Amino acid sequence: MLTGCTGITSAKSNSTTTNSNKTPSGALSVSPAAMTFGSVAVGSTSNQSLSVTNSGSLAVTISQVTATGAGFSIGGASLPLSLSPGNTFTFTAGFAPMATGTVSGSASILSAQLSSPLTIQMAGTGVAVAPAITNQPVSQSVLIGQTVTFSVTASGTAPLIYQWRKNGTAIIGATSSNYTTPAEIASDNGAQFTVVVSNAAGNIISNAGILTVSAAPVAPSITTQPAGQTTFVGQSATFSVVANGTSPLRYQWEKNGIAIGGATSPNYPTPAEIASDSGAQFAVVVSNSAGNVTSNSATLTVNPDPIAPSITSQPASQTITAGQTAKFSVSASGTAPLNYQWQKNGGAISGATSSSYTTPAEAASDNGAQFTAVVRNSAGSVTSNAATLTVTTPGQLSSSTSSVSFGNVDLGSSSAQSVTLTNTGGSNVSISNVTTSGTGFTENGISTGLILSPGGSTTMDLIFAPAASGSATGSVTISSTALNSTLTIPLSGTGVVTHSAALTWTASASVVSGYNVYRSSVAGGPYTKLNSSLDAGTTFTDSSVSSGQTYYYVVTALDSNIMESVYSNQATAVIP
């Protein structure tokens, strides 16, 4: 008989038979067979249930579920998902259109037990959402000669089109969400402003914003009061105020209630102060044609001469790897404000004007650079000690091969290859994680936390044990502290099924020395002998067959004089 093959016929008249078997595959069915979401508003989501049933006789493991087509999705399961025969699992399929129009897509279910992916067609139509007003125009009040801006906020499917109206008549060019009027006149008092917002799905008219035009000026009011100031003998101080009201606004600063000559702007810088000015009160009178207002008083504090800065904590030297940044800091005392300027090798660093300085990513050429800080105030300056920057070469992880191919590997067996990882850089490399992807690929030999010193290496064993026939791809990824923090090596291999044809026959009734087995790829021969020496038994296994071929076998018997009989009846083997 023949085993491990299908399609074998038996030739019985001369007692030579062949048999074969084929492993059954899994089967899945879905409900519904296709999914139609209908019309769904752009920006919203419609969900439907998709039931998947194992309709076969073997357990099926679902390894991947994907959706294609703009806006389609499928989920609801933690993969891989195993379904026993007769069991059902319900997935959730969704459609969230990103634009208007009909969209087609599909969901695909993958399993090693299926001969091909199970595909479910999906369709839906994105429809526009009509506009809605979320913030209505607000009524406004202005003076004659001033402008005013009306605004609206709307939602709906883009693009939204705006058209402002004044007393029901469209305003030419007013086609944005904001509309600023020209300078208003008295006759515009009571005018009503609306806006029509439209898109492909419809339109909506806002509430009216009413414009009030007033001829009377508004008296000034203080919005930001002057603040107290502190200065030193011989230095000046500046007081400021912010006011609103009908223009023009006029300003007059006062010191201890007496007007200061020429101090007629919103800001007033004092002359160089003396010790006796400490405690002086400064206020400002703001006036216009409608009236005036006096600010709160702000107090001036005049301190004695400032104290020059001194370093209380010096910058510390730093060691980094090339490509990293370093941070230097200094602490100083002295009369505020203190001004800082960092220097590199004696040259000022642009923009480095705070008590700490973070370098840009450094190169190996910056090794040995000297960093200092100059601290200044009005009383003098001081320079810190120099801090030295040490820049080391980063670790670099390399592999002995850029990819690994396992070639053909029989199902049920495995193949292993070794890869050497080497630190070719100048600093230690710590390996934090090693992961593999792809069905059938595994790794061992490297433990988490392994440290490779410069020039050091380690060996990693990669294994391919195919779970199914056909090509397989994957990768192994090594994560580390090296400059190339992620090193990925592609993996490939092919799972193959080894076929054979097993022959058996009934022993000759005569005394024989043994048997010869012949094979042909053509029915009726010519035949080629397969055995190199006489076969003493009544079985023979042909392991040199090829998938997809048909072979024809005959057997002869030889007596003690090595006289060979005629061919037996022909047996046929069809290799799947």
For the cut 50, the answer to whether the pLDDT of residue 398 exceeds it is yes
Distance, CA of 289 to CA of 572 (rounded, Å): 118
Q: What is the dihedral of CA 109, 112, 115, 116, to 10 degrees?
A: 30
Maximum mean pLDDT: which of 305-309, 357-361, 493-497 = 357-361
State both tokens at 387.
């801090």
Tokens at residue 191, please? Answer: 């005018």
The count of other CB atoms within 10 Å of the CB of residue 455 is 10
Convert the pLDDT of each residue in 112-160 to its tens digit. Answer: 999 899 999 999 998 988 999 999 999 998 888 899 999 999 998 889 9
pLDDT bracket for residue 20 (50, 70, 90): very low
Residue 173: partners with Cβ closer than 8 Å, 6 or more residues away: none
The two domains 132-214 and 221-303 share their CATH topology (first three levels equal): yes
Could you state, in order of their start, the residue ranges of all structural domains in the chain? Answer: 1-29+499-576, 32-127, 132-214, 221-303, 310-392, 397-496
Q: Give the confidence band of 509 by pLDDT, cuts at 50, 70, 90.
A: confident
Tell me the pLDDT of the chain averaged across its residues: 90
Q: Give the CATH fold of the 132-214 domain.
A: Immunoglobulin-like (2.60.40)
Give domain 310-392's CATH architecture: Sandwich (2.60)
100 to each of 51, 131, 200, how far by Cα in Å?
Answer: 28, 15, 10
Confidence category of residue 497, pLDDT binned at 50, 70, 90: confident
Here the tokens at position 106 are 């599909």
pLDDT of residue 25: 67
Residue 6 exposed, middle or buried by CB count within 10 Å (0-12, 13-18, 19+): middle
The answer to whether the peptide bond before residue 304 is cis (omega within 30 degrees of 0) is no
Using a CB cutoff of 8 Å and minimum separation of 24, what contacts does 273-276 make?
Answer: 273/231, 273/232, 273/233, 273/234, 273/235, 273/236, 273/237, 273/300, 273/302, 274/233, 274/302, 275/233, 275/302, 275/304
- Evaluate the CA torsion angle 561, 566, 571, 575 in order and state its sign: positive
Q: Is the pLDDT of residue 247 over 90?
A: no
Of 4, 1, 5, whose CA–CA distance to 549 is shortest?
A: 5
The arrangement of secondary structure in 221-303, i.e. its CATH architecture, is Sandwich (2.60)
CA distance 572 to 576: 13
Answer yes or no: is pLDDT of 348 > 90. Answer: yes
Mean pLDDT calculated for residue range 250-257: 97
Burial of 272-311, coded b for 16+ CB within 10 Å and e otherwise, reads: ebeeebbebebbbbbbbeeeeeebebbebebeeebebbeb
Tokens 């007393």 identify what position? 167
Q: What are 39-56's pLDDT values in tens digits? A: 998 888 999 999 999 999
Q: Rounded to the nearest 5 degrees, what angle is found at the Cα of 240, between the Cα atoms of 239 and 241?
A: 140
> Are the beta carbons of 299 and 279 closer than 8 angstroms?
yes
Dihedrals φ, ψ of 276, to 5°? -70, -15
Do 1 and 19 form a contact (C-beta atoms < 8 A)? yes
26 touches 113 (CB < 8 A):
yes
Task: Please give the Cα distance from 558 to 67 (Å, whole number).
Answer: 66
For the record, the structure tokens of 465 come out as 């044990």
Q: Could you give the 3-state DSSP secondary structure of residue 140?
A: strand
Residue among 110, 205, 99, 213 at smallest CA distance from 157: 99
C-alpha 223/C-alpha 307 separation (Å) is 37
Q: How far apart are CA 170 and CA 63, in angstroms?
A: 61
The three-class DSSP label of residue 452 is strand
**Alpha-carbon span 67 to 479, nearest angstrom:** 31
Domain spanning 32-127 has what CATH number?
2.60.40.10
pLDDT band per the 50, 70, 90 thresholds, residue 319 = very high
Instruction: Give the CA dihedral 140, 142, 146, 150, nearest 10 degrees.
Output: 0
Tokens of 286: 């703001």
Peptide bond into 576 cis (omega under 30): no
- The CATH number of domain 397-496 is 2.60.40.10: yes
Two structure tokens written together for 162: 């705006």
Residue 532 has a CB neighbour count (10 Å cut-off) of 6
**Per-residue pLDDT reduced to its tens digit, 193-226:** 999 999 988 999 999 999 999 877 889 999 999 9
Which is nearest to 32 in space by CA: 126, 104, 121, 97?
Answer: 121
Segment (H or E) for 318: strand 318-321
Sign of the dihedral defined by the CA atoms of residues 163, 164, 165, 170, in that order: negative
Whether the predicted pLDDT of 15 surpasses 60: no
Q: How many other CB atoms sit within 10 Å of the CB of residue 521? A: 13
Q: What is the CATH number of domain 1-29+499-576?
A: 2.60.40.10
* Beta carbons of 281 and 295 less than 8 angstroms apart: no
Buried b (16+ CB within 10 A) or exposed e, 96-126: bbeebeebebbbebbbebbeeebebebbbeb
Name the β-bridge partners of 477: 435, 488
